[in-house]
Structure 1
Amino acid sequence: MNKLTLQPGARPLVRTVASQASADGAGVKIQRVAGFQSPDFSPFLMLDEIRSDNADDYIAGFPPHPHRGIETLTYMLNGEFEHQDHLGNRGAVSTGGAQWMRAGRGIIHSEMPAQGEGGMHGFQLWINMAAANKMDAPTWRDIQGGDIPEVPLDSRGSVARLIAGHWQIQGEAKTAPLTETAAEAAVADLRLQPDTEFTLPMPAEHAVLVFIYRGGLMSERGPIGRGNMLLYGRGESLQLRADGEGAGLLCLHGRPLNEPVVHYGPFVMNSREEIEQTLRDYNNGTLAT
């Protein structure tokens, strides 16, 4: 079977976006999917994937840099990064763990790899903040791997690791350890066994996106492989079918903000004037005060 047959109420696949090779920080090699100006991404803005067994690709890390107007969520499949910021926060996120940061009105932080061997595979998601909240106080916290629940999806070993937000799985409400994300953003790591199919209820008003980081999915348009972001239309549920290799997926849903987005480097605001003020604040040292 080369195509998925959608059940009634399942969300149709609207668009597929391939990740693109890029670099950030002090030359860290990444694969990036950006959707700053795409309404169907909202409230999400960007997803970066770090995936390498070569320490030269990531060891320089992300030295101190500012943010305003967004939240970031880092999730590690393998490896370890250490966070430090101007507020005095310091902590490491390692294999299976996550780290959430609300930049709000301004934060200056660094993210540096804590090991040079064993490879690195992880993600950083940017989540937009509503205009009314962009100048909120910054905050941060770690979520260790042991605190992220794994929920069985079937009898064959498929599981969901619930990182953020609220979910409905097998008829039961499930809550992830991180619930204070902007725009009700929810994130889960779905690990599907080969040739398994699973349907996940979704809030009708939310945007739904899926990033394939391992294996592939069968869609109504045909097979889709690793490194692609899938954007879905309206519906009551998300129907997923893994290919013969199985699939590792980051599943995202959140309430669209429907607000203008103006992006300049690490800053995301709602107007050019706000970006210009942000740059003045950073240059005169008041962004993170």
Structure 2
Amino acid sequence: MKARQVIEVQRARASQDGAGVAIQRIAGMRHSGMDPVLMIDELRSEQRDDFAAGFPPHPHRGMQTLTYMKHGGIIHEDNQGNRGEIRGGGAQWMSAGRGIIHSEMPTQDSQGLHGFQLWFNLPAAEKMLAPRYRDIPAADLAVHDSKGRRAVAIAGDWALDDATISGPLVELVPQADMLDLTLAAGDRLMVDSGADQTLIAYVYDGSLADPRGSIAARHLAITGEGDAWELRAGEAGVGLLLLRGTPLREPVANYGPFVMNTPAEIEQALRDYQSGNFGT
């Protein structure tokens, strides 16, 4: 077994998206260490003004979105006739495929709003397939509580020392797996991966202990080669999103909400959208 090491740490940048929604963003459109993850946005606030205007109708092509809520909810509507709503946590997954126009409107609960939207790349062969959508209520997510740990599996199979849990979002696999993990102060957990897979962690609470220094909240840890990574919680414990996936190693051309392989494909996406033929 070859142990993975953290080789890079990225800090999330404060930004806005949609109609002025406050976010913390990790961008990785052409980052080989994040492939197939393209972007990670964290939405977290107790102030309704930070997110009330939401994300009005906008297009996508050539990628997948995964919205995962820990607190609060979100309402999705699109031009394919889909409407979904999750409250009190849960996930919404969408594969934009050849094109979709959708809106997302956040809602808060007694603990405010805390969630994430992640973009995952699609293989070139799947970028022009029909769009798809799925809601996953919080009650349908796989949860494992043990010895001060809490793991919520959204996608993929995860071995957690004394248990294995499997996330219900099979549509994201085999591109990527995702686990929401909380560890108590000083706890350690070995996470397995394929030697050629990407394995990264976005810290949203507490910190990860690492030989190169503590990795604090709102930072992304990117690991190097290996088939296992020992996670070690810091003095206040840690809450993180763990992402594992198979790199596509394909060219990435992007413009706003479109992610294709060549500039010519981006130009075609713009023409299709502007002509009113988007998503048909």
Q: Tell me which interval the TM-score lies in, with the shorter structure as reference length.
A: over 0.9
Map Cα deviations across residues 47-87 of structure 1 (whole Å, 9 max, x no partner): 00011111111000000000000000000111111000111
* 2:250 is the counterpart of 1:259: yes
Q: CA deviation at 1:88?
A: 1.1
Distance, in Å, in 1 between the alignment partners of 2:121 and 2:174 is: 8
Distance, in Å, in 1 between the alignment partners of 2:174 and 2:96 is: 15
Q: Which residue of 1 aligns with 2:126?
A: 133
State whether residues 15 and 230 of structure 1, in contact with CA within 8 Å, keep that contact through their aligned partners in structure 2.
Answer: yes
When residues 117 and 42 of structure 1 are mapped into structure 2, their CA distance, relative to the original with a 3 A threshold, is same
Distance, in Å, in 2 between the alignment partners of 1:44 and 1:66 is: 19
Q: Which residue of 2 aligns with 1:285?
A: 276
State whether residues 165 and 184 of structure 1, in contact with CA within 8 Å, keep that contact through their aligned partners in structure 2.
Answer: no
Distance, in Å, in 1 between the alignment partners of 2:106 and 2:225 is: 39
Report % sequence identity: 48
State whether residues 73 and 125 of structure 1, in contact with CA within 8 Å, keep that contact through their aligned partners in structure 2.
Answer: yes
Whichever residue aligns with residue 139 of structure 1, its letter is R
Q: Which residue of 1 aligns with 2:154?
A: 163
After TM superposition, the score normalised by the length of structure 2 is 0.96
Distance, in Å, in 2 between the alignment partners of 1:143 and 1:121 is: 17
Distance, in Å, in 1 between the alignment partners of 2:9 and 2:86 is: 30
Provide structure 1 residue ranges, at least 5 long, that are not aligned to the other structure.
1-7
Which of 18, 21, 29 pairs up with 2:14?
21
CA RMSD of aligned residues (A): 1.5
Aligned pair count? 280
Q: CA deviation at 1:182?
A: 5.7
Q: Which residue of 2 aligns with 1:86?
A: 79
Bigger mean CA offset, 177-186 vs 256-265: 177-186
Distance, in Å, in 2 between the alignment partners of 1:98 and 1:58 is: 18
Q: Which residue of 1 aligns with 2:94?
A: 101
State whether residues 161 and 189 of structure 2, in contact with CA within 8 Å, keep that contact through their aligned partners in structure 1.
Answer: no
Which of 159, 171, 186 pairs up with 1:180?
171
Distance, in Å, in 2 between the alignment partners of 1:89 and 1:136 is: 17
Q: CA deviation at 1:93?
A: 2.1
Q: CA deviation at 1:46?
A: 0.1
DSSP 3-state at the match of 1:104: coil
Which consecutive aligned stretches of 4+ in structure 1 deviate over 4 angstroms post-superposition?
115-118
State whether residues 43 and 183 of structure 1, in contact with CA within 8 Å, keep that contact through their aligned partners in structure 2.
Answer: no
Distance, in Å, in 1 between the alignment partners of 2:111 and 2:225 is: 41
* 2:188 is the counterpart of 1:197: yes
DSSP 3-state at the match of 1:199: strand
Provide structure 2 residue ranges, at least 5 long, that are not aligned to the other structure.
none
Q: CA deviation at 1:167?
A: 2.2
* 2:200 is the counterpart of 1:209: yes
After TM superposition, the score normalised by the length of structure 1 is 0.93
Q: Which residue of 2 aligns with 1:39?
A: 32
